[in-house]
């Protein structure tokens, strides 16, 4: 049933908000932006969805903020500090680790933990390493006695925030942010308190100002004039002389001169932050200003201290000190006494697509036309799935539109445009199963069906929406009236695209409906993908290139709709992130990645570092390729350093196994001829967002134009310059309705007709007139057959040429028409076993002209295969299956029930994607090299049927496939009367004052032991399925007698073991001390607990040793209200720290998260 969602009241139009935008006046006059109303959105999520942001327990969330914050507008998400306002992790009412740089922070009940991470680690499995600067607190900034039930957001700027604590008697507010060495605090109800992780070294005490060192890090602690700090052990307190403010700063060194320098600015409290930008088209210059707002508590100092990231100081002259800080982004440099700084960058231009380069073109237009026709399929024209996959489908269509025009295939171009328009309107009309809903609590649009956490975590909106906006820009170019076209409710299509922009990147300070610049972090220079930042490593972003796709879409959409504010927002995002990507994803200056990391790129940037990994695959192609796709003309930023692209490609160590077209296209910025040779070296499967038509034209375009030339700019934003040898190619796009002349910085001019992309190489080719076409297509090439079975064969052939484009291919079997298809392959089924068939193929165009046949191809089907019997082995070797093809395995089901199919991969590649279909149910599965995946199929009836496996990636090779009936009785055990044997060797490897661990040898049984019964002092104490048990609830220093017997599924019980006497430990282990010398085996899902005794509040460090020979044991340590999941290698000892553990008896619990957890010594120390 189709459901119509009621529209919201009209959302504010983006153009109506431009006066509030944080940007300088545009130096280039622009056409007046259209006056657009807003579109319709659903008021509620569809049935079965989450309905909005949730925590990990599934509960719907509201923002965690104060009344002051709520009055500011809609809540920000996707920030480095979002875990305060968006409590994703159930049970944590404070925050996760927040990496502001140079500081890192963590909210607790007692205040704000502060650290300065300088110790780099390289962690992770070989080949999937991550470098990180993990958070470790140096002190907690707070108020004496503060015990707040939660932490809330009280205020924010573009890269700063203020957090708030209150327990009803005492309160604290702390302001921190990117680039700030300071944390600024105000308090009520108690003394100011700084609690250090260890007794600090006080190297300067000026009464109200302390210089201290803790954990090798130097800090200044600043109270008001007239106040004093009292330092006792690990704690510094002050009455603040009756005032309510103090600040703390990380210092670059421990000199008194530096301390006094920072003292000058310690009382100029930062209260906000905002970025503004200005694009000067005449000079192609982007100037960005990063400004702080401040309030002076005392003194006459103006300005503050700002630490700049590499992508900032490399493009700014504002650094005026020799001070530096360590960060995961490389060295930060300091500007002192400033309230703002500026960066200046050249904007290298954005094109919607590459042009026809006329005589310089090296491509074959007939071949390109064939590829265009090959892409014109039902699947391409009907994008399906969630908002991400539909977006990728729209992006693919947008790239095909100009290619169809370049080969004069107006029918295909119309089909592609129709598909874009139909799909956008389906999602933007507020009706049916595909639509956007506005969530007023969080001020966000959510597309349904949602994907990858875009609803419950508010992830990836910029990734998804970028494709929609790109496709809309294509419609704006080719069908400009669509922008202002009426929706079913009388509004406009263009307005809804503007609201997608507002959702992900509202450039204004009007935040009544959307927060300002949701995804992009102006100071960090890139976006954050996670809405909540609920990770110990901070927030993260994987696909920097899809972030750039969003920015480029804004440039083109803004230019085509006359909206210079949107256009310049896109220019700011695109130019800024280009600099960030070159440093933080690609390390092109060799100043960011630490020595020993050994990778030319990271797949993910985290708050605490960078990881050579992805969320979805460990393959090199995925890790490197996710930061290259989608390939568009706007990907030219990748070509600014062509030698790096060769390094990136070469690091694969081989030719790519997947996403070949993505790697060839980026390699072409270095060596287009070499990329073309790779393209022509054999068959391949296009990446999901790609087509052979686009890759073919892209590679040949770069082969004609050369490498990106950054030395020359133009006076419009839609341009690019390339250089091949000594010759330059100038390219420009005119987004307006009238012809323009573009002037380049070296004096070159280029006349560009309305809404066209033009190259200085020429190449404007009028489309052929096909209304009276009488020219027949050419002969298809190279007819071949593959995947021959007893009843089917897959045919494939080369594309045929045609002056107006081939519309279809006709497949003849034994002289009769068997199938008509639009692509260059066909699966022919319904054949007889052991039978010879003759096939041939011919092409047909839209005018009905048919070409000559290929030569005949003779194929003999395989002999009829004997159906395998289920339950049993379906096949011992499934063999190789080409991407996009299927193989059916006939089976005869002899007993009804629920079947479990096991499929083994013999491929050498991980993450091979397959679809397994059986009994009307199918599953998409990913299987690693040499591994087996399983899938359960219910309600299977007896009789002949088949198991069908479809390859959905390259390199699929299968081994054995088998099926078991999970419902069938297991004979001869249905009437089992045989008792199990006696378990052997009952022992107790460890004990505490309240628990005992027991282990024993397995008992034998004719039908298998189902459980073991553990008796304590003659009474049944526990029933377990494994060969160990933890008996708890015992008294200290008490003797107990245990015995064990086995039971099978028929209820038969065996004889008891001999009695084992165990005396519990004498009480809780005093800290510091050895808790146990052997924790022992813990079954998956089971727990083991120990009591610890503390005489006073301490920072407790648990040392846990892995006694297993397994390469990795996963378990969770729970202590003092905090749970820490761990994975520990064989023989490894790992420390786990818990700060501020109060006096008394505390329980530490170890819970196994995997099989084979066998822990050794457990020791509790203090630090």
Q: Who has greater pLDDT, 524 or 1075?
A: 524
Kindly state the percentage of the chain with pLDDT values over 90: 71
632-682 residue pLDDT tens: 999 999 999 999 999 999 999 999 999 999 999 999 999 999 999 999 998
Placement of tokens 């006694």 in the chain: 1107
State the Cα–Cα distance between residues 319 and 306, nearest whole angstrom: 9
- List b or e across 518-529, with b for residues whose CB sees 16 or more CB atoms inside 10 angstroms: bbbbbbbbbbbb
pLDDT at position 771 is: 55
Tokens (6 digits) for 927: 């299987």
Above 70 in pLDDT, residue 1059?
A: yes
Above 70 in pLDDT, residue 125?
A: yes
Q: Who has greater pLDDT, 1147 or 975?
A: 1147
State the Cα–Cα distance between residues 704 and 355, nearest whole angstrom: 11
Tokens (6 digits) for 568: 């310049």
pLDDT at position 10 is: 34
pLDDT at position 19 is: 31
Q: What is the largest CA-CA distance in the chain?
A: 103
Average pLDDT over residues 325-353: 98
689-731 residue pLDDT tens: 999 999 999 999 999 999 999 999 999 999 999 999 999 999 9
> Of 202-216, 426-440, 1101-1115, which gets the smallest average pLDDT?
1101-1115
Please identify which of the residues 129, 374, 455, 542 carries the catalytic annotation. 542
- Confidence class for position 15, pLDDT limits 50, 70, 90: very low
Above 90 in pLDDT, residue 163?
A: yes
Q: Of 624, 773, 561, nearest to 33 (Cα)?
A: 561
- Confidence class for position 29, pLDDT limits 50, 70, 90: very low
> Of 7-11, 409-413, 711-715, 965-969, which gets the smallest average pLDDT?
7-11
**Active-site residue flag, 546:** yes
State the Cα–Cα distance between residues 1123 and 454, nearest whole angstrom: 27
Three-state SS sequence of 352-368: CCCCCCHHHCCCCHHHH
Kindly state the percentage of the chain with pLDDT values over 70: 94
Above 90 in pLDDT, residue 924?
A: no
Average pLDDT over residues 763-772: 48
Q: How far is residue 299 from each of residues 210, 263, 296, 302, measured CA to CA in Å? A: 18, 10, 7, 9
Above 60 in pLDDT, residue 1032?
A: yes
What is the average pLDDT value for the chain, to the nearest integer? 90
> Of 239-243, 514-518, 822-826, which gets the smallest average pLDDT?
822-826
Above 90 in pLDDT, residue 45?
A: no
- Confidence class for position 903, pLDDT limits 50, 70, 90: very high
Sign of CA dihedral 496, 500, 505, 506: positive
Average pLDDT over residues 189-201: 97
Strand runs (DSSP E) across 992-1086, as ranges? 996-1001, 1009-1016, 1019-1024, 1028-1031, 1039-1048, 1060-1063, 1069-1070, 1073-1076, 1080-1082
- Confidence class for position 845, pLDDT limits 50, 70, 90: confident
Above 70 in pLDDT, residue 838?
A: yes
Please identify which of the residues 40, 546, 976, 1091 carries the catalytic annotation. 546
The Cβ-side half-sphere exposure at 698, using a 13 Å CA radius, reads 29
Average pLDDT over residues 136-158: 98
Tokens (6 digits) for 256: 């008194």
**Active-site residue flag, 542:** yes
Please identify which of the residues 113, 154, 460, 954 carries the catalytic annotation. 460
pLDDT at position 30 is: 34
Above 60 in pLDDT, residue 573?
A: yes
DSSP structure class, residue 127: T
Above 80 in pLDDT, residue 12?
A: no
**Active-site residue flag, 113:** no
Domains, the chain, ordered by start: 781-860 (2.60.40.10), 868-965 (2.60.120.260), 969-1066 (2.60.40.10), 1068-1167 (2.60.120.260)
For residue 486, how many other CB atoms are within 10 A of its CB?
10
CB-based contacts of 405, cutoff 8 Å, min separation 6: 413, 767
């Amino acid at each position: 049933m189709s459901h119509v969602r009621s529209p919201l009241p009209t959302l504010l139009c983006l153009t109506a908000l431009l006066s509030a935008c944080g940007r300088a006046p545009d130096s280039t006059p622009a056409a007046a932006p259209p006056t657009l109303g807003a579109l319709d959105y659903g008021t509620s999520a569809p049935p079965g969805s989450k309905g909005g942001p949730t925590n990990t327990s599934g509960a719907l969330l509201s923002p965690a903020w104060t009344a002051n914050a709520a009055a500011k507008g809609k809540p920000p998400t996707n920030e480095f500090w979002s875990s305060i306002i968006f409590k994703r992790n159930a049970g944590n009412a404070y925050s996760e680790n927040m990496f502001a740089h140079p500081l890192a922070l963590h909210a607790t009940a007692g205040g704000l933990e502060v650290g300065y991470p300088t110790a780099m680690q390289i962690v992770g499995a070989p080949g999937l390493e991550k470098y990180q600067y993990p958070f470790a607190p140096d002190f907690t900034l707070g108020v004496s006695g503060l015990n707040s039930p939660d932490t809330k957001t009280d205020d924010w700027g573009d890269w700063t925030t203020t957090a708030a604590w209150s327990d009803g008697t005492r309160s604290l507010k702390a302001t921190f942010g990117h680039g700030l060495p300071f944390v600024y605090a105000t308090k009520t109800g108690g003394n100011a308190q700084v609690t250090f992780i260890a007794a600090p070294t006080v190297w300067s005490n000026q009464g109200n100002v302390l210089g201290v060192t803790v954990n090798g890090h130097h800090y200044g602690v600043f109270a008001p004039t007239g106040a004093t700090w009292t330092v006792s052990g690990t704690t510094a307190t002050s009455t603040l002389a009756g005032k309510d403010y103090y600040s703390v700063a990380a210092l670059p060194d421990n000199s008194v001169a530096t301390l006094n320098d920072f003292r000058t600015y310690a009382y100029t409290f930062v209260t906000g932050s905002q970025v503004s930008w200005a694009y000067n088209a005449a000079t192609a210059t982007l100037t960005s200003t990063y400004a702080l707002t401040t309030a002076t508590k005392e003194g006459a100092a103006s300005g503050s201290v700002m630490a700049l990231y590499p992508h900032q100081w490399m493009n700014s002259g504002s650094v005026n000190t020799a001070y530096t800080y360590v960060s995961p982004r490389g060295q930060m440099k300091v500007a002192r006494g400033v309230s703002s700084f500026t960066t200046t960058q050249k904007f290298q231009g954005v094109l919607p697509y590459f042009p026809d380069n006329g005589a310089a073109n090296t491509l074959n237009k007939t071949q390109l036309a064939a590829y265009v026709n090959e892409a014109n399929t039902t699947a391409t024209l009907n994008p399906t799935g969630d908002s991400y996959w539909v977006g990728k489908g729209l992006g693919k269509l947008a790239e095909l539109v100009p290619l169809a025009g370049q080969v004069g295939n107006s029918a295909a171009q119309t089909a592609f445009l129709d598909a874009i328009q139909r799909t956008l309107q389906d999602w933007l009309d507020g009706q049916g199963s595909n639509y956007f809903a506005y969530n007023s609590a969080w001020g966000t649009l959510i597309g349904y069906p949602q994907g990858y956490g875009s609803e419950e975590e508010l992830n990836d909106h910029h990734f998804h929406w970028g494709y929609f906006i790109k496709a809309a820009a294509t419609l704006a170019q080719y069908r400009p009236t669509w922008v202002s076209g009426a929706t079913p409710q009388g509004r406009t299509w263009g307005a809804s695209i503007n609201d997608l922009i507002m959702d992900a990147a509202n450039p204004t300070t009007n935040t009544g409906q959307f927060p300002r610049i949701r995804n992009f972090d102006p100071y960090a220079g890139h976006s954050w993908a996670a809405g909540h930042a609920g990770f110990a490593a901070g927030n993260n972003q994987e696909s920097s290139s899809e972030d750039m796709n969003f920015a480029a879409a804004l440039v083109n959409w803004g230019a085509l709709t006359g909206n210079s504010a949107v256009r310049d927002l896109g220019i700011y995002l695109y130019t800024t992130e280009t600099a960030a990507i070159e440093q933080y994803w690609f390390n092109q200056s060799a100043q960011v990645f630490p020595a020993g990391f050994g990778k030319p790129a990271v797949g993910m940037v985290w708050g605490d570092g960078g990881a050579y990994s992805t969320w979805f695959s460990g393959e090199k192609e995925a890790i490197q390729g996710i930061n290259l796709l989608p390939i568009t003309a706007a990907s030219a930023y990748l070509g600014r350093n062509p030698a790096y692209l060769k390094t990136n490609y070469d690091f694969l160590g081989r030719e790519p196994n997947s996403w070949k077209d993505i790697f060839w296209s980026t390699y072409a910025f270095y060596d287009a001829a070499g990329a073309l040779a790779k393209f022509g070296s054999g068959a391949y499967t296009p990446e999901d967002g790609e087509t052979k038509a686009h890759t073919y034209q892209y590679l040949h375009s770069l082969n004609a134009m050369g490498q990106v030339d950054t030395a020359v700019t133009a006076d419009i934003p839609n341009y690019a310059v390339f250089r091949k040898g000594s010759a330059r190619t100038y390219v420009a796009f005119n987004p307006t309705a009238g012809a323009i002349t573009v002037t380049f910085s070296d004096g070159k001019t280029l006349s560009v007709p309305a809404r066209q992309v033009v190259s200085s190489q020429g190449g404007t080719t009028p489309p052929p007139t096909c209304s009276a076409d009488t020219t027949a297509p050419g002969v298809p090439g190279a007819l071949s057959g593959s995947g021959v079975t007893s009843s089917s064969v897959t045919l494939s052939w080369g594309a045929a040429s045609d002056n107006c484009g081939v519309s279809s291919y006709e497949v003849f079997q034994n002289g009769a028409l068997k199938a008509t298809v639009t692509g260059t392959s066909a699966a022919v089924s319904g054949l007889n076993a052991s039978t010879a068939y003759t096939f041939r193929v011919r092409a047909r165009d839209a005018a009905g002209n048919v070409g000559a046949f290929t030569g005949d191809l003779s194929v003999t089907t395989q002999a009829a295969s004997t159906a395998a019997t289920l339950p049993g082995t379906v096949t011992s070797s499934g063999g190789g299956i080409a991407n996009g093809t299927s193989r059916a395995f006939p089976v005869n089901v002899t007993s009804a029930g629920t079947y479990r199919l096991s499929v083994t991969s013999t491929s050498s590649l991980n993450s091979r994607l397959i679809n397994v279909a059986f009994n009307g149910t199918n599953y998409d599965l990913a299987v690693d090299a040499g591994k087996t995946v399983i899938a359960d199929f219910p309600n299977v009836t007896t009789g002949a049927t088949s198991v069908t496996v479809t390859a959905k990636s390259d390199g699929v090779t299968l081994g054995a496939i088998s099926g078991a009936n999970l419902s069938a009785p297991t004979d001869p055990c249905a009437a089992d009367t045989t008792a199990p044997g006696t378990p052997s060797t009952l022992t107790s490897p460890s004990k505490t004052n309240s628990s005992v661990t027991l282990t024993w040898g397995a008992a034998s049984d004719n039908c298998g032991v189902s459980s073991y019964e553990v008796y304590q002092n003659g009474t049944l104490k526990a029933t377990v399925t494994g060969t160990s048990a933890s008996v708890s609830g015992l008294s200290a220093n008490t003797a107990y007698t245990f015995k064990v017997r086995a039971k099978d599924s028929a209820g038969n019980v065996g004889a008891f073991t001999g009695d084992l006497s165990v005396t519990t430990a004498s009480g809780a282990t005093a800290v510091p001390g050895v808790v146990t010398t052997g924790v022992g085996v813990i079954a998956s899902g089971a727990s083991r607990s120990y009591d610890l005794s503390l005489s006073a509040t301490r920072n407790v460090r648990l040392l846990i040793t892995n006694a297993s020979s397994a390469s990795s044991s996963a378990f969770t340590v729970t202590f003092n209200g905090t749970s820490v999941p761990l994975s520990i290698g064989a023989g490894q000892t790992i420390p786990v720290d818990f700060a501020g553990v109060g006096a008394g008896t505390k329980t530490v619990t170890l819970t196994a998260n995997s099989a084979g957890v066998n822990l050794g010594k457990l020791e509790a120390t203090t630090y």
